[in-house]
Amino acid sequence: MSYFSYRNGELHAENLPLSAIAKAFGTPTYVYSRQALVDNFSAYANAIRGNGRDEKTALVCYSVKSNSNLAVLNLLHSMGSGFDIVSGGELLRVIAAGGDPRKVIFSGVGKNHEEIRLALGHDILCFNVESVAELQRLNEVAGEVGKKAPISLRVNPNVDAKTHPYISTGLKENKFGIAYDEAFSAYRAAAGMPNLRVVGIDCHIGSQLLDDAPLLEALDRLIDLVDRLEGAGIHLHHLDIGGGIGITYDKDKPVAIGDYLGRLFARIDRWRAEKHGGAPIQVMFEPGRSIVGNAGILLTEVEYLKHGETKNFAIVDAAMNDLMRPAMYEAFHGVQPVRQRDAAARTYDIVGPVCESGDWLARERSLALEQGDLLAILSAGAYGMTMSSNYNTRGRAAEVMVDGDKMHLIRKREEPGDLFRLESLLPA
């Protein structure tokens, strides 16, 4: 189903013309489809139910870093989602959105003392530990507050996700997780720490995976390690396979969620039947991009058209501070005009007003444009707003949720005064 489609030559979000959103709230503005979010989360929930699981045996923990707007989090919470966080701030966002901290897993390589205390105080589900040094800190802080910290180790299985090197996280050279060959001894160390409770195992090998073969390879490595741990008397209650399933940005053809989960559950069921008498183990997932990525677009206006001898530029009011992925990863995002024109197209680079040559959103796109036209930058729901900045003292974009023919402002546009409100002058 397409949630952003043309009707009578005008691009709509669900049943609402995007031009109406620009008129009401200006540009640049992130626009999300509520129905897309519901359907994308349901793809996981339906596959879980279809494979005979419930929340006790399979839990989706949405990756907050992909899009952390309170309305998005609240909607997913209402559908039964847990949450994967990487900071104390994200935990407070989940709580502010009505989420249950007891369904939160805390990942990330650099958890500080205050974040650990905060998470322990809210009785989160689990810490995904990424180093032996972190184990020691967790044991220390948990002892100070009189609690036992529930932990799993994020194991780095050294599996190539075959994705962009900046979003590959499962190889030996990546900063994430504990090396597979060191994980057994790390688990034994954790089991001997008085203020830790070992409950699970975790891995996440990368993002924007179009094929589930690397994920299933990583699963096999985790299964082997779980069996070794069981033999040593360390019994785990859950297995977290991470996230990473990709979306369509251009001509990408990602694996269907139902097909991937079906193969994964079949593999787990065979293993539990053969080695553990059919005893279940809870399975966790950490999807982000596959839920919110194609549920959002960035709406922007053409400020100027600049035609040159070797390049044509469409200079828009959105910039690299609004959508960092093209400048950071050379990532591809589709571009569509909000109103289709019956005119000759030219090839344009879509660029912003930021004072950097890296400030571009799309290159060499064939478009029929005039100054003042609106453009939709597609597949911008994940890692768009969350990675945005105030570079050049530019306020971050507004965010709008569309529900059928209704639009809801879910984040106001930042004004210049918002950006320096926390700053102060030196004394005279």
Q: How far apart are CA 297 and CA 275, in angstroms?
A: 47
**Lookup: tokens for 1:** 């189903």
Q: How far apart are CA 343 and CA 188, in angstroms?
A: 69
DSSP 304-359: EEEE-SS-EEEEES--TTT--HHHHH-----EEESB--SS--EEEEEE-SSSSTT-
Q: Binding-site residues for pyridoxal 5'-phosphate, please?
A: 244, 286-289, 383
Closest CA to 324 of 386, 234, 379: 386
Strands (E), 242-295: 282-285
pLDDT digits (tens, 9 = 90+) for 228-286: 999 999 999 999 999 999 999 998 999 999 999 999 999 999 999 999 999 999 999 99
Closest CA to 68 of 55, 59, 77, 80: 77
Classify residue 116 as exposed, middle or buried by CB count within 10 Å of its CB (0-12, 13-18, 19+).
buried
Q: Which amino acid is present at 406? A: K
Q: Which of 61, 126, 203, 355 is catalytic?
A: 355
**Cβ atoms 61, 104 nearer than 8 A:** yes
**Cβ atoms 204, 286 nearer than 8 A:** yes
pLDDT digits (tens, 9 = 90+) for 269-281: 999 999 999 999 9
3-state SS class at 150: strand
Residue with tokens 């290159």: 363
The confidence score (pLDDT) of residue 21 equals 98
The confidence score (pLDDT) of residue 158 equals 80
Closest CA to 293 of 343, 340, 338, 333: 333
Q: Which residues of 183-210 are buried (b: 16+ CB within 10 A; e: fewer)?
A: bbebbeebeebebbebbbbbbbbbbbbe
pLDDT tens, per residue, the chain with 428 residues:
589 999 999 999 999 999 999 999 999 999 999 999 999 999 999 999 999 999 889 999 999 999 999 999 999 999 999 999 999 999 999 999 999 999 999 999 999 999 999 999 999 999 999 999 999 999 999 999 999 999 999 999 888 655 545 444 444 556 678 999 999 999 999 999 999 999 999 999 888 899 999 999 999 999 999 999 999 999 999 999 999 999 999 989 999 999 999 999 999 999 999 999 999 999 999 999 999 999 999 999 999 999 999 999 999 999 999 999 999 989 999 999 999 999 999 999 999 999 999 999 999 999 999 999 999 999 999 999 999 999 999 999 999 999 999 999 999 999 999 999 999 999 99
Q: Binding-site residues, please?
A: 244, 286-289, 325, 329, 356, 383
- DSSP-derived secondary structure letter, 233: T
Which residues on neighbouring strands pair with residue 349, listed in sequence order?
313
| Residues found in the chain | 428
Q: How far apart are CA 129 and CA 189, in angstroms?
A: 13
Domains assigned to the chain:
4-32+293-419 (2.40.37.10), 108-285 (3.20.20.10)
**Cβ atoms 316, 351 nearer than 8 A:** yes
- DSSP-derived secondary structure letter, 58: E
Q: In this structure, what are the phi and psi dihedrals at residue 404, rounded to the nearest 5 degrees?
A: 70, -115
The confidence score (pLDDT) of residue 168 equals 45
Q: Binding-site residues for substrate, please?
A: 289, 325, 329, 356, 383
Q: How far apart are CA 64 and CA 23, in angstroms?
A: 30
How many CA atoms are closer than 13 Å to the CA of 254, on its beta-carbon side? 20
The confidence score (pLDDT) of residue 207 equals 85
DSSP 359-384: -EEEEEEEE---TT-EEEE-S-SSSS
- DSSP-derived secondary structure letter, 415: P
Which residues on neighbouring strands pair with residue 61, listed in sequence order?
82
Q: How far apart are CA 68 and CA 31, in angstroms?
A: 14
355 is catalytic: yes
3-state SS class at 141: helix
CA 61 to chain centre: 11
**Lookup: tokens for 148:** 């036992």
